[in-house]
Amino acid sequence: MMLPGCASPSGAGVHAGEPYIVNNHGALFYSYGASQASGPDFELGGGQQVTMLSYEYGYSHVAVAGTGQTGYVATEDLSHAPPQPKASPTPSLLAAQTRRRHGGDGSRPPAPEEESQIPMPEFPESEPPPNAPPFRY
């Protein structure tokens, strides 16, 4: 007996918008699907980046990075793209951050001022008034 929902996840919502790359051996690209009469339109080279539009068993719908052309590629020929490295800060970005931190003119931060002498408030007597009941915590 087959249970609904036991199949692996696939469809338009699963992995949609995620970056993928073509495996090292390349992948045949079909504009209208793998069963189109004219055969594949071209071959994507290994390492070509694509954006997943619809992850399916067999052939997935993808958009080729750079061209935006959409079509179908064998799902087994695709792998998740490695995460993009974080960009290192450029000298101009570092200078802007320094200006913001140090008052805008790039000078050193101001020296910490001496602690101001604020007088402490006067507190009432700590002795209880005469005949007061004992205080208990």
Domains observed in the chain: 19-80 (2.30.30.40)
Phi/psi of residue 11, nearest 5 degrees = 125, 180
CA 71 – CA 80 distance, rounded (Å): 18
Q: Which pLDDT tens digits describe the chain residue by residue (137 residues)? A: 454 544 455 555 667 788 899 987 889 999 998 888 999 999 999 989 999 998 888 999 999 988 889 999 999 999 888 887 776 666 666 666 666 665 555 555 555 555 567 777 776 666 777 787 876 66
Nearest Cα to Cα of residue 28 among 5, 57, 62, 1: 62
